Amino acid sequence: MRYLVISDIHGNLEALDAVIGAMTPLGFDRALVLGDLVGYGADPNAVVDRVRAMNPLMVIRGNHDKVAAGLDDGESFNLVARSAVQWTTDALTPENLEYLRTLPAGPTAIDDQVQICHGSPFDEDAYIFDELDAYKAFETATRPVCLFGHTHVALAFRRVGDRLELPAGPGDTDQIRIPIDPGARFLVNVGSVGQPRDNDSRAGAGIVDTNAGVIELYRVRYPIEEAQRKIRLAGLPEILARRLALGR
Protein backbone atom coordinates (compact mmCIF):
# COMPACT_ATOMS: atom_id res chain seq x y z
CA MET A 1 0.00 0.00 0.00
CA ARG A 2 0.98 3.56 -0.66
CA TYR A 3 -0.34 5.79 2.12
CA LEU A 4 -0.68 9.56 2.14
CA VAL A 5 0.13 10.65 5.71
CA ILE A 6 -1.17 13.96 7.07
CA SER A 7 -1.44 15.36 10.59
CA ASP A 8 -2.27 18.51 12.54
CA ILE A 9 -4.34 20.29 9.91
CA HIS A 10 -5.79 22.64 12.55
CA GLY A 11 -8.58 24.17 10.48
CA ASN A 12 -6.20 25.48 7.80
CA LEU A 13 -8.09 24.83 4.56
CA GLU A 14 -5.58 26.61 2.31
CA ALA A 15 -2.78 24.35 3.56
CA LEU A 16 -4.87 21.17 3.28
CA ASP A 17 -5.97 21.98 -0.26
CA ALA A 18 -2.39 22.70 -1.29
CA VAL A 19 -1.24 19.40 0.19
CA ILE A 20 -4.00 17.43 -1.55
CA GLY A 21 -3.18 19.26 -4.80
CA ALA A 22 0.54 18.52 -4.54
CA MET A 23 0.29 14.94 -3.31
CA THR A 24 -2.47 13.64 -5.59
CA PRO A 25 -0.23 13.61 -8.71
CA LEU A 26 2.33 11.54 -6.76
CA GLY A 27 -0.30 8.83 -6.37
CA PHE A 28 -1.47 7.08 -3.21
CA ASP A 29 -3.98 4.36 -2.37
CA ARG A 30 -5.48 5.67 0.87
CA ALA A 31 -4.89 8.45 3.38
CA LEU A 32 -3.98 8.18 7.07
CA VAL A 33 -4.95 11.21 9.19
CA LEU A 34 -3.15 11.48 12.54
CA GLY A 35 -5.45 13.91 14.33
CA ASP A 36 -5.97 17.59 15.16
CA LEU A 37 -8.21 18.34 12.22
CA VAL A 38 -9.40 21.48 14.01
CA GLY A 39 -8.26 24.14 16.49
CA TYR A 40 -6.31 27.39 15.72
CA GLY A 41 -7.48 27.84 12.10
CA ALA A 42 -10.58 29.54 10.70
CA ASP A 43 -12.06 26.68 8.62
CA PRO A 44 -12.88 23.77 10.94
CA ASN A 45 -16.03 22.71 9.06
CA ALA A 46 -14.50 22.88 5.58
CA VAL A 47 -11.45 20.91 6.80
CA VAL A 48 -13.59 18.18 8.38
CA ASP A 49 -15.67 18.02 5.18
CA ARG A 50 -12.50 17.71 3.03
CA VAL A 51 -11.07 14.97 5.22
CA ARG A 52 -14.32 13.02 5.13
CA ALA A 53 -14.48 13.41 1.33
CA MET A 54 -11.00 11.87 1.04
CA ASN A 55 -12.40 8.66 2.54
CA PRO A 56 -9.22 7.98 4.52
CA LEU A 57 -8.36 4.45 5.58
CA MET A 58 -8.01 5.72 9.17
CA VAL A 59 -8.53 9.00 11.03
CA ILE A 60 -7.60 9.17 14.71
CA ARG A 61 -8.33 12.03 17.09
CA GLY A 62 -5.92 14.66 18.36
CA ASN A 63 -6.05 16.60 21.62
CA HIS A 64 -7.70 19.62 19.94
CA ASP A 65 -10.36 17.40 18.35
CA LYS A 66 -11.06 15.95 21.79
CA VAL A 67 -11.46 19.34 23.45
CA ALA A 68 -13.47 20.83 20.57
CA ALA A 69 -15.84 17.86 20.72
CA GLY A 70 -16.30 18.24 24.48
CA LEU A 71 -14.49 14.99 25.40
CA ASP A 72 -11.80 16.82 27.38
CA ASP A 73 -11.99 20.10 29.32
CA GLY A 74 -8.80 21.59 27.81
CA GLU A 75 -7.33 22.34 31.26
CA SER A 76 -3.85 21.70 29.86
CA PHE A 77 -4.29 24.28 27.07
CA ASN A 78 -2.76 27.75 27.19
CA LEU A 79 -5.05 30.78 26.85
CA VAL A 80 -4.62 31.13 23.09
CA ALA A 81 -5.35 27.46 22.42
CA ARG A 82 -8.31 27.56 24.77
CA SER A 83 -9.89 30.61 23.18
CA ALA A 84 -9.34 29.10 19.70
CA VAL A 85 -10.89 25.78 20.68
CA GLN A 86 -13.93 27.55 22.18
CA TRP A 87 -14.35 29.48 18.91
CA THR A 88 -14.02 26.17 17.03
CA THR A 89 -16.66 24.40 19.12
CA ASP A 90 -19.07 27.28 18.48
CA ALA A 91 -18.31 27.23 14.73
CA LEU A 92 -18.63 23.48 14.15
CA THR A 93 -21.89 22.09 12.79
CA PRO A 94 -23.63 19.48 14.97
CA GLU A 95 -22.76 16.84 12.36
CA ASN A 96 -19.04 17.68 12.36
CA LEU A 97 -18.98 17.88 16.17
CA GLU A 98 -20.42 14.37 16.24
CA TYR A 99 -17.85 13.20 13.68
CA LEU A 100 -15.00 14.49 15.88
CA ARG A 101 -16.59 13.00 18.99
CA THR A 102 -16.58 9.51 17.44
CA LEU A 103 -13.00 9.53 16.13
CA PRO A 104 -10.99 6.66 17.64
CA ALA A 105 -8.00 7.24 19.90
CA GLY A 106 -4.58 6.04 18.76
CA PRO A 107 -2.41 4.06 18.64
CA THR A 108 -3.91 2.03 15.81
CA ALA A 109 -2.23 -0.65 13.73
CA ILE A 110 -2.84 -0.11 10.01
CA ASP A 111 -1.16 -3.24 8.64
CA ASP A 112 1.73 -5.49 9.65
CA GLN A 113 4.26 -2.71 8.99
CA VAL A 114 2.55 0.55 9.94
CA GLN A 115 1.06 1.94 13.15
CA ILE A 116 -0.28 5.46 13.72
CA CYS A 117 -0.78 7.62 16.81
CA HIS A 118 -1.33 11.32 17.52
CA GLY A 119 1.23 11.89 20.29
CA SER A 120 3.05 8.65 21.01
CA PRO A 121 2.27 4.93 20.97
CA PHE A 122 2.02 4.83 24.80
CA ASP A 123 -0.12 7.94 25.29
CA GLU A 124 -2.11 9.83 22.64
CA ASP A 125 -1.31 13.14 24.37
CA ALA A 126 2.44 12.62 25.02
CA TYR A 127 5.02 14.47 22.90
CA ILE A 128 7.99 12.94 21.08
CA PHE A 129 10.61 15.68 20.76
CA ASP A 130 13.98 14.11 21.48
CA GLU A 131 15.94 10.86 21.64
CA LEU A 132 14.76 10.08 25.17
CA ASP A 133 11.10 10.38 24.13
CA ALA A 134 11.92 8.28 21.07
CA TYR A 135 13.50 5.45 23.09
CA LYS A 136 10.40 5.30 25.27
CA ALA A 137 8.12 5.30 22.22
CA PHE A 138 10.13 2.55 20.48
CA GLU A 139 9.58 0.35 23.56
CA THR A 140 5.82 0.44 23.05
CA ALA A 141 5.57 0.64 19.24
CA THR A 142 4.10 -2.55 17.80
CA ARG A 143 5.06 -2.05 14.13
CA PRO A 144 8.38 -1.32 12.37
CA VAL A 145 7.00 2.04 11.16
CA CYS A 146 5.22 4.11 13.81
CA LEU A 147 3.84 7.42 12.52
CA PHE A 148 3.08 10.24 14.94
CA GLY A 149 2.13 13.94 15.00
CA HIS A 150 1.34 16.43 17.80
CA THR A 151 4.68 18.31 17.90
CA HIS A 152 4.24 19.95 14.47
CA VAL A 153 7.92 19.21 13.79
CA ALA A 154 8.90 16.98 10.87
CA LEU A 155 11.31 14.42 12.29
CA ALA A 156 12.35 10.81 11.77
CA PHE A 157 14.12 8.43 14.15
CA ARG A 158 15.67 5.19 12.91
CA ARG A 159 16.55 2.47 15.40
CA VAL A 160 18.74 -0.54 14.71
CA GLY A 161 19.41 -2.58 17.83
CA ASP A 162 20.19 0.02 20.48
CA ARG A 163 21.50 2.61 18.03
CA LEU A 164 19.32 5.63 17.29
CA GLU A 165 19.77 7.82 14.20
CA LEU A 166 17.99 10.86 12.83
CA PRO A 167 17.49 10.43 9.08
CA ALA A 168 15.39 13.60 9.10
CA GLY A 169 15.28 16.53 11.51
CA PRO A 170 14.29 20.18 11.77
CA GLY A 171 16.10 22.23 9.15
CA ASP A 172 15.94 19.51 6.51
CA THR A 173 13.79 21.46 4.11
CA ASP A 174 14.03 19.48 0.90
CA GLN A 175 12.20 16.32 0.05
CA ILE A 176 13.53 13.41 2.10
CA ARG A 177 13.48 9.73 1.17
CA ILE A 178 14.03 7.20 3.94
CA PRO A 179 14.35 3.56 2.89
CA ILE A 180 12.48 1.14 5.17
CA ASP A 181 15.36 -1.29 5.51
CA PRO A 182 14.55 -4.67 7.05
CA GLY A 183 15.74 -4.92 10.64
CA ALA A 184 15.37 -1.19 11.29
CA ARG A 185 12.46 0.45 13.09
CA PHE A 186 11.16 3.95 12.48
CA LEU A 187 9.34 6.70 14.36
CA VAL A 188 8.28 9.37 11.87
CA ASN A 189 6.48 12.69 12.11
CA VAL A 190 5.69 14.03 8.63
CA GLY A 191 5.12 17.51 10.08
CA SER A 192 2.00 19.62 10.43
CA VAL A 193 -0.24 20.55 7.51
CA GLY A 194 -1.81 23.61 9.06
CA GLN A 195 0.58 25.05 11.67
CA PRO A 196 4.23 24.01 11.13
CA ARG A 197 6.56 24.74 14.08
CA ASP A 198 9.92 23.72 12.67
CA ASN A 199 10.89 27.10 11.22
CA ASP A 200 9.60 26.10 7.79
CA SER A 201 6.26 27.75 7.02
CA ARG A 202 5.39 25.27 4.26
CA ALA A 203 2.81 22.54 4.97
CA GLY A 204 4.22 19.13 5.90
CA ALA A 205 3.00 15.80 4.50
CA GLY A 206 4.36 12.35 3.76
CA ILE A 207 4.02 9.18 1.75
CA VAL A 208 4.66 5.74 3.23
CA ASP A 209 4.96 3.10 0.53
CA THR A 210 5.11 -0.37 2.08
CA ASN A 211 5.58 -2.12 -1.29
CA ALA A 212 8.48 0.07 -2.42
CA GLY A 213 9.77 0.17 1.18
CA VAL A 214 10.19 3.93 1.41
CA ILE A 215 9.06 6.86 3.56
CA GLU A 216 8.97 10.26 1.83
CA LEU A 217 8.67 13.63 3.56
CA TYR A 218 7.46 16.67 1.63
CA ARG A 219 6.92 20.40 2.20
CA VAL A 220 4.26 22.21 0.19
CA ARG A 221 3.84 25.97 -0.32
CA TYR A 222 0.36 27.35 0.23
CA PRO A 223 -1.32 30.80 0.30
CA ILE A 224 -0.46 31.68 3.92
CA GLU A 225 -1.83 35.25 3.55
CA GLU A 226 -5.31 33.90 2.82
CA ALA A 227 -5.28 31.62 5.89
CA GLN A 228 -4.06 34.60 7.97
CA ARG A 229 -6.78 36.88 6.56
CA LYS A 230 -9.48 34.40 7.60
CA ILE A 231 -8.03 33.99 11.11
CA ARG A 232 -8.12 37.79 11.60
CA LEU A 233 -11.61 38.05 10.10
CA ALA A 234 -12.83 35.36 12.52
CA GLY A 235 -11.48 37.35 15.46
CA LEU A 236 -9.14 34.53 16.50
CA PRO A 237 -5.97 35.55 18.41
CA GLU A 238 -3.57 37.54 16.19
CA ILE A 239 -0.62 35.33 17.18
CA LEU A 240 -2.29 32.42 15.34
CA ALA A 241 -2.12 34.38 12.08
CA ARG A 242 1.42 35.63 12.65
CA ARG A 243 2.99 32.30 13.54
CA LEU A 244 1.89 30.74 10.22
CA ALA A 245 4.32 32.96 8.33
CA LEU A 246 7.11 32.14 10.77
CA GLY A 247 6.54 28.42 10.78
CA ARG A 248 6.78 28.20 14.55
Least gap, CB of 151 to Zn ion (angstroms): 8
Least gap, CB of 7 to Zn ion (angstroms): 7
Stretch that binds Zn ion, among 13-21, 29-37, 78-86, 123-131 (CB under 5 A): 29-37
Long-range contact pairs involving 230-239 (C-beta distance under 8 Å, separation at least 24) = 230/41, 230/42, 230/43, 231/41, 231/42, 233/42, 234/42, 234/87, 234/91, 235/87, 236/40, 236/42, 236/83, 236/84, 236/87, 237/80, 237/83, 237/84, 239/80
Question: Residue 192 or 210: which CB sits closer to Zn ion?
Answer: 192
Number of residue whose CB is nearest Zn ion: 36
Q: Which residues contact 86 (CB under 8 A, 6 or more apart)?
A: none
Question: Residue 36 or 200: which CB sits closer to Zn ion?
Answer: 36
C-beta neighbour count of 34 within 10 angstroms: 29
Question: Residue 152 or 159: which CB sits closer to Zn ion?
Answer: 152
Q: Is 124 in the site for Zn ion (CB under 5 A)?
A: no
Stretch that binds Zn ion, among 8-16, 84-92, 101-109, 129-137 (CB under 5 A): 8-16
Question: Residue 8 or 216: which CB sits closer to Zn ion?
Answer: 8
Buried b (16+ CB within 10 A) or exposed e, 186-208: bbbbbbbbbbbbbebbbbbbbbb
Question: Residue 119 or 144: which CB sits closer to Zn ion?
Answer: 119
Least gap, CB of 193 to Zn ion (angstroms): 10
Question: Residue 36 or 216: which CB sits closer to Zn ion?
Answer: 36
Question: Residue 144 or 191: which CB sits closer to Zn ion?
Answer: 191
Least gap, CB of 154 to Zn ion (angstroms): 13
| Contact present, 119 and 152 (Cβ < 8 Å) | no
Least gap, CB of 47 to Zn ion (angstroms): 13
Q: Is 36 in the site for Zn ion (CB under 5 A)?
A: yes
Q: Is 133 in the site for Zn ion (CB under 5 A)?
A: no
Least gap, CB of 85 to Zn ion (angstroms): 11
Choice from 3, 5, 8, 146 touching Zn ion (CB under 5 A): 8
Q: Calculate the alpha carbon distances from 87 to 58, 65, 188 in Å.
A: 26, 13, 31
What are residue 188's DSSP bridge partners? 147, 156
Q: Which residues contact 134 (CB under 8 A, 6 or more apart)?
A: 128, 157, 159, 164, 187
For Zn ion, the binding residues (CB under 5 A) are 8, 36
